[in-house]
Each structure stands twice: as C-alpha cells, then as structure tokens.
Homo-oligomer: A and B are copies of this chain.
C-alpha cells in the first residue's frame, strides 16, 4: 500500500525536544532538558478529594458528552481571574491545542505570522500545519524590541505570537514599558496579539506584570494553562478571545476533538474552588526559585569562564551561550556519553529559532531535578565544556 502524505505533514518534523526527552526517561540521566514540572508540586490530595466528589455528586454529567466551550463554572472562574466575561473563555486540551485552533482559524497557506526569535518550538510546530510564512521579529535580552515593529512585514500579519513572561526557551520577561509600547504598536497596525502565558504565575521577583489582555482586550488572544500550576497530565488549558473570534474557535474545536474531557475539567474546577491556588503557587515559586538559585550558583562556580547565561525572573528556564569555539551539538553528545560520571541532558537553542539561529545557545531547565543533582549536572556540563574548548 502506498500512502500519499500531505504537503504540510511531509514538512513536519518531530520536536528535537521530544527526542531528547525520551533519553531523559532513564532516571539516571540528570535532565536540564524538559520543562517538566516537579511532581512535588502536584496537589495529589486535593485531586483525590476532587475525583471522589465528582463521582459521588455528578457522575452522569461529568462522564457524558459536554459543550465544546467547556465546563461553565471553570470558564467563570477563569473569566473572573482575568476580568473578562465567561463567554470569551474556551477550554482547550492543553494550551498546545489552542495554538492548533488559532492557526486553523486565522492562517491560510502563506499568511504572515510574526514570532519572537527564538520562540516556543511547540508553537512553530502547531502553526506549521497551517503553512504560514513565519516572520521573526527582532528581540534582545528583554524580549521584543518595540522600535523594530514597523514596516510592511508587520502590517497585514494575521497575528503576532509572543510569550511575555519567562519565555520558553529564553526565560526572559518583557518589561512593563515595552509591553505597553508593543500593545499600542499592534493596535495601531491592526495586528492581533496571541499572548501565550503558561508561566505567568511563576514570578520569583516582585509581582506578576499586567497582561497584554488587560491592556487591550479587543486585540489580544490570551492563552493560559493549568499544566505548570496544577498538573500537565490533565491537559487543561484555555483561550480568552475577542468575541468576534469565539464562534469560529468553538466550531473548529468541535471539529477537532468535540470537547476537552469534562471529567478533568471538573477535577481542575473542584480543586480551584477550594481556594488553594494562590497559596499553592507561592509554594511552587519557593521551590523553583531555590532550584534556580542552585543552578545559578553551580554555573558561577563551574562554568563562568566558558559560558554566559541570563538570570530569569521566573518560570523554568535559563538561556546560556557557550564560547564560539564550542559546538553545542557536540556538547550535548559529550554530556550524554561522558567519560565518567552521570549523563546530562539539555536542549540546544537552534531549533527554537524561526529566523537566523545563534547556534551557540542552549536552554537549561532548573525545575526537574533537585539541587544536589543540579550541582552534579552542572559540574558534568563544565567538564564537557572544558574538553571541547
């Protein structure tokens, strides 16, 4: 049997990250690779209570087909948190699905969409199925450079995709003044902003900055997720969209998977309504900032002469750059097959670029392994750097 694969699927490649994550399934590997939340943060006790309550009190509704838009009390909770009306909230199967839906609804083959450079690899993959023309926009250490947002490339773009808080992969946060400039520039250019915000709650310095959604509700599609603050295995995310887009997003989701599991939506809501989240997020922040600091300290003592890195103000990742003499692909091969000591995984930076890549970059996650192993892993990374420089 011969199979004719569609053009778009032919072009799709497996995420380099997912391939590296397979290696990290071996628990002896010290993984700085994935954005894998620490299982310590999963509210298992509350989940048990939630499951029992749902199956005692509303099994028929929780297990039945349900509206595509999502479970109403969960939509109301989200709407309240973001000060929007519930009819603008669509529950999605993780926020990855929201990226797929947005591309389906807003992108024709060849449509221009603007992306940060580097940007989230999962977004590039989701968008690629709709065959857009990706236009990388200029970024510096703080994120998007508002002055660069001019000219023909911007006007007529279907949307601009940005992760303003603790971006995956760079960990950087867009400062407040730049947010305001960016939102104003996009409003002026009539370009929709897709604000992807899975890490927004994980701010380690000061309070979270205002969302772009709060600055221009009519021009921003906000994507949220419970993966980093409750648990990724439930696959519950959401989109908050301007009213004129909701109908098409709902129709498209209906065609894509009918609806997100009503059972897991209720699990999330039953936990949220206990009011646990804010205290829980504080605990997660305390855990992760400690791990971040452990990684920063280890890097300072082992790698200072051969690598530079940023100090993320939140999230899960820091972004590093090796000396020009070092090949990052060879570095990964070396840390995965060391002469002695533990194997260490990380993700090279190149796959995250939509435009010209800085091939000497890498992404390091500090959330997956505890501080003693962070120290051990960074020492191993330093040994490999020494061997290759």
| Interface residues, chain A, with chain B CB atoms under 8 Å away | 1-9, 12-15, 18, 21-22, 34, 36-37, 39, 42, 44, 47-48, 51-52, 55, 59-68, 93-94, 96-97, 100, 104-109, 111, 122, 125-126, 128-130, 158, 187, 190, 192, 218-219, 227, 231-235, 242, 244-245, 247-248, 250-252, 254-264, 267
Contacts and interface: CB of A to CB of B under 8 A. Distances in A.
B18 A257 contact: no
Given A64-B37, A94-B257, A107 B6 contact: yes
Given A18-B254, A48-B51, A252-B12, A219 B63 contact: no
Contact of A255 (B47, B63, B122, B260): B122
Contact of A52 (B51, B100, B192, B244): B51
Contacts of A261: 93, 233-235, 261, 264
Contacts of A64: 36-37, 39, 231-233
B44 A63 contact: yes
B100 A256 contact: yes
Given A106-B4, A235-B260, A261-B261, A48 B52 contact: yes
A102 B104 CA distance: 15
A219 B2 CA distance: 9
A106 B9 CA distance: 8
Contact of A55 (B1, B44, B63, B94): B44
Given A1-B244, A47-B55, A126-B256, 4 more contacts: A5-B105, A48-B51, A96-B257, A231-B263
Nearest to A10: B248
A262 to B, nearest CB: 4
Contacts of A190: 1-2
Contact of A68 (B4, B18, B244): B18
Contacts of A96: 255-258
6 smallest beta-carbon distances between A and B, as pairs: A39-B60, A63-B231, A51-B51, A125-B255, A63-B233, A233-B262
Nearest to A265: B233
Pick the most buried of A108, A130, A255: most chain B CB atoms within 10 A of its CB.
A255
